[in-house]
Chain A
């Protein structure tokens, strides 16, 4: 064709030949477009202008009610109820001052505040409704409704509103909802959300957002130039979110929450956390964190004062202590040392150690909590009576790195990987960790402190529950789970799958059995430290713990009542029952509560006895059912 063809093939003439045809086709298509534009804009232009300017069809979004959150027996923890609201269309406010003054009188709010909420929108914003009040009482609604025609630009509407039936109960676990934030809207995860839409912001409300959300519907309305609805053409109902069934047991949760109430009328409410889980499958039956908050105050926009009070409170009511509170484990840590000692063969369970009430290492003296000492104790006695000196010696024999290795084996010092993101990892110190963290070598004395859970170690109540569940169930470390059944928008109903096993503790079953036996003695035998958690008819195993908040020397001269609250010890109690075939593990932490045996054990006792009371009732029902059945057969 043109010049020569160096590649041999080069431009063949097909391009040249077909070009007119292809160009013709493209021009033809664009010609059709121009004709269509001519039809719409010139021939039908006036008509279309009429539609656009006069009546126009507008899609009004109908919010979907959020799915209910149920406890394991189907009782409602969170639901959705209708809430009446007042909105204002700025473009329709003829005389804003008079209208707002009148409206303010009707709903008992200052007109200045109302007009501040509207601001002075310009441009397109004038055509967007502003929601002035989110949750109006019936009285106020009736007043506004009866004056609606004298209030141009004011509209009432009904929207679903989240209602937490039990108020503060399990507030941290359920979480909060709130309007989707501006920074969230930028993320792809929230791509199909619109400004103003309500979304789970923390806790399970956030984790289960996809399941609870439902699908918004729409109403096609004809509006006039002023934006008033003239006609409703069609409507698609919103699809409500599906319910989610949690592993939580409302009865047990109530008992646990009540346990943190003041002991005496007008007394101080207790702070801390409680966790109960099923050591056979990881189902979390109870999760309490105190102080708590009322999640009902969130969805409608909480007032600034309440919010400030919550966020600046010294005791941090928004923190979920059960997952993200990190505390020294105190004596509850001794089971880890016992397990390590048995497994390593360092401990002969029958060998007795003499406890004079103190232990000397170099020039320092470490005291046993019992000043008079425990006398001759073996491993079982040492756990039962929580002898410190026995474990000082055992800890030194093991060394800190060995202790750390076994702690990790019980999944301490690591996140459990639950979907609640606020979970904290805790801390298991090693020599290397201290070098890295402080640039200092590990001191032997620190091993002594660590042996009774009083060193650098930190655990969360949930972690401790998982570690004790492993002791109770024969060594399996389970990931706690919170959801029994949910409905996935794409997959349909999803049942909780098999328990997720995080690992196996590096301890032989017979050693775990020995520890279980000693822990049973803690509760069931005289002189055990956990006697206050006994449940009639059930063998309970447990362990007390007392975590010092400040060094003993600051407080030793004072009586318990004289110590400022913030310096008082944290009280731990961990229990599981029935001791040899555990169905429930309970961890209770009372912040600044004093001794584990006296402050925390009674709360654990209440949870356990409620659990077994329910079990007995259920067994009774079954028995009755069986009897009825056999009676029928006999007849």
Chain B
């Protein structure tokens, strides 16, 4: 099982590794600035390094085991991740209005559930190729697969992560062939769901955040404050930025949750337009490379797995960068690799491991 084929070494995916390393390094340098306290290595930075070490090991292991074995274990892994989510509901303490962390805040099972979900979805779509799916009823089972974790995460009252998980699951919709009339039906259903959520499920602060998006100046003190400060930080970065650890918005702590949700604002303030576009470019290359891996995969499962991994990185990037730029509502979704967060970093590296796994075996059989 762990035997490494000569060909997978020959066709090692240096591109993917390079892009990943670049993102991890940028994220860490940025973290040093956003948590910098008197020049010493901050606690957050130290913990992030530990997570990086752990994540790298897990990534290598994930990449080494032939992904076709994952196909066999896809459903058990998915089931286990659901169990863990259920367990979280029972044992996790309530913190900041949601109940999503276990092991004293070291593990967020929702991160693992995303991987479990794309394994199960990949297995389904490998057997029912998206290109052959023409009717909505063929999507009932994938919808159930997505509904499991999303429902459990909703029960944890973590709306942001639930939405994110839902979107990741929906990545596959980009590849199915369903006529536009069916999409219209889906759209109507979606609007109805959103309306229900707005009136019955959203907390007042969540409604405020969406209203703030429409009119950021509405209430500069409360939720609009964060986005306003973020926009000021980003804008004041100018063309080349204020320099590393020189961002006044960051260092004077005007920016809220600057090492997590607003990490990209720190980056944009200190490195300017030039730096931000460069980082977005690296990110974009990473996503496109993931899709190229999907195309070059030899079997359906590998292709679907790669698409799922792209979804895991695409959606949080869109939500997070959109949020800090004032284009999307304030949903606490951190930017993978750039934001501080051990559990998230390890989960991201597992996802890279899956992609690497598919990539290096593209010529194996």
Contacts and interface: CB of A to CB of B under 8 A. Distances in A.
A41 B222 contact: no
B239 interface: yes
Given A7-B299, A14-B130, A59-B221, A33 B238 contact: no
B284 A26 contact: yes
B174 A22 contact: yes
Interface residues of A, number: 62
Given A17-B131, A188-B101, A57 B229 contact: yes
B365 A23 contact: no
Interface string B232-251: 11111111000000001101
B129 A14 contact: yes
Interface in A503-526: none
B300 A45 contact: no
A9 B222 contact: no
A15 B175 contact: yes
A10 B101 contact: no
A173 B191 CA distance: 55
Interface stretch (A119-127, A131-139, A492-500): A119-127
B136 interface: no
Contacts of A218: 221
Interface stretch (A46-54, A358-366, A406-414, A578-586): A46-54
B12 interface: no
B325 A34 contact: no
Nearest to A5: B299
Interface in A7-35: 7, 9-19, 21-23, 25-27, 29-30, 32-34
Contacts of B365: 6
Contacts of A552: none
B252 A11 contact: no
Interface in B164-204: 174-177
Interface stretch (A102-110, A229-237, A470-478): A229-237
B331 to A, nearest CB: 16
A48 B95 CA distance: 35
Nearest to A190: B95
A14 B131 contact: yes
Contacts of A58: 254
B3 interface: no
Nearest to A53: B248
A15 B297 CA distance: 10
B82 to A, nearest CB: 24
B325 A191 contact: no
Interface in B270-287: 272-273, 276-277, 280, 283-284, 287
A47 B96 CA distance: 36
Contacts of A114: none
Nearest to A22: B174
B69 interface: no
A188 B95 contact: yes
Contact of B248 (A44, A52, A233): A52
A485 interface: no
A29 B235 CA distance: 20
B332 interface: no
A189 interface: yes
Contact of A57 (B96, B174, B254, B325): B254
A57 B272 contact: no
A1 B96 CA distance: 51
Contacts of A47: 235
Contacts of A192: 95-96
B236 A188 contact: no
A41 B131 contact: no
A38 to B, nearest CB: 7
B14 to A, nearest CB: 21
B316 to A, nearest CB: 13
B351 interface: no
Interface string A214-230: 00001010000000000
B8 interface: no
Contact of A19 (B232, B268, B291, B300): B291
B327 A32 contact: yes
Interface string A253-265: 0000000000000
Contact of B131 (A5, A13, A53): A13
A598 B176 CA distance: 91
A29 B318 contact: yes
A218 B236 CA distance: 25
A564 to B, nearest CB: 49
Contact of B276 (A37, A46, A48): A37
Nearest to A21: B174
B32 interface: no
A52 B321 CA distance: 20
B300 A220 contact: no
Interface in A40-86: 40-42, 44-49, 51-53, 56-59
Contacts of B131: 12-15, 17
A249 B238 CA distance: 66
A36 interface: yes
B254 A45 contact: no
A2 interface: yes
Contacts of A40: 231, 234-235, 325
Contact of A23 (B175, B235, B238, B291): B291
A504 B282 CA distance: 70
Contacts of B36: 123-124
A226 to B, nearest CB: 12
Interface string B284-303: 10011001001101111111
Given A33-B321, A56-B254, A44 B235 contact: yes
Given A23-B291, A42-B273, A122 B38 contact: yes
Nearest to A36: B325
Interface in A571-624: none
A30 to B, nearest CB: 5
A36 B318 CA distance: 13
B175 A188 contact: no
B274 to A, nearest CB: 9
B127 A9 contact: yes
A247 B128 CA distance: 67
Residue from the set A2, A45, A122, A191 with the largest chain B CB neighbour count within 10 Å: A45
A34 to B, nearest CB: 6
Contact of A49 (B225, B238, B297): B238
Contacts of A44: 235
B314 interface: yes
B7 interface: no
B314 A26 contact: yes
A15 B299 contact: no
Nearest to B94: A490
Contacts of B326: 36
A22 B175 CA distance: 8
Contacts of B225: 57, 59, 220
B11 interface: no
A245 B38 CA distance: 46
Given A9-B300, A33-B327, 11 more contacts: A19-B295, A27-B288, A30-B280, A33-B322, A45-B239, A51-B235, A51-B236, A52-B233, A52-B235, A124-B37, A188-B93
26 contacts: A10-B300, A11-B295, A11-B298, A14-B130, A14-B176, A15-B303, A18-B174, A26-B284, A26-B288, A30-B283, A33-B322, A34-B280, A37-B276, A40-B234, A41-B272, A41-B276, A44-B235, A45-B237, A45-B273, A57-B229, A124-B251, A124-B253, A188-B93, A188-B101, A189-B95, A220-B220
Interface of B: 36-39, 93, 95-96, 101, 104-105, 126-132, 174-177, 219-222, 225, 228-229, 231-239, 248-249, 251-254, 268, 272-273, 276-277, 280, 283-284, 287-288, 291, 294-295, 297-303, 307, 314, 318, 321-322, 325-327, 365
Interface of A: 2-3, 5-7, 9-19, 21-23, 25-27, 29-30, 32-34, 36-38, 40-42, 44-49, 51-53, 56-59, 122-125, 127, 187-189, 191-192, 218, 220, 233-236
What 7 pairs between A and B have smallest CB-CB spacing?
A48-B235, A14-B131, A12-B129, A52-B236, A45-B238, A40-B235, A41-B273
